[in-house]
Amino acid sequence: MAQRPTFMDELRKHDPEFFELVSAVMTKTQEAGALDPKTKTLITLALDAAGNHPEGVRSLAARARAMGAKEEEIIETIRLAFVGAGIPGLVAGLAAFRE
């Protein structure tokens, strides 16, 4: 995984044993498989938007762009978050466009 989310730094500090387990699962879920890593990142972005986690959305949008995602792909991903989570998903999803 390219960059570890900031919450993982807190987890590592307070519970290093569990950090290792969570880190291994997160790394495994981002490996290429039936879905490529960019698609998995966009799905995770949608889930973060639907879960009202704008900081995660912002970070994941940057990661997706670094993987070659076009703005249109990010826009469609946020639209899907809106379908699943309504206005809160849309509002959190718009964090993808904040620097």
Is the pLDDT at 93 greater than 90, yes or no? no
Determine whether 96 is exposed, middle or buried from the number of CB atoms within 10 Å of its CB (0-12, 13-18, 19+).
buried
Are 49 and 9 contained in the same domain?
A: no
Are 27 and 40 contained in the same domain?
A: no
Are 16 and 64 contained in the same domain?
A: no
Overall residue count recorded for the chain in this entry: 99
Is the pLDDT at 1 greater than 80, yes or no? no
pLDDT at res. 99: 77
Domain limits at 51? Answer: 36-97
Are 27 and 57 contained in the same domain?
A: no
Are 44 and 85 contained in the same domain?
A: yes
The pTM (predicted TM-score) of the whole model is: 0.81
- Total structural domains in the chain? 2
Q: What's the whole-number mean pLDDT along residues 13-37?
A: 93
Are 40 and 68 contained in the same domain?
A: yes
37, 67 contact by CB (below 8 A) = yes
Buried b / exposed e over 75-95, threshold 16 CB at 10 Å, is: eebbebbbeebeeebbebbeb
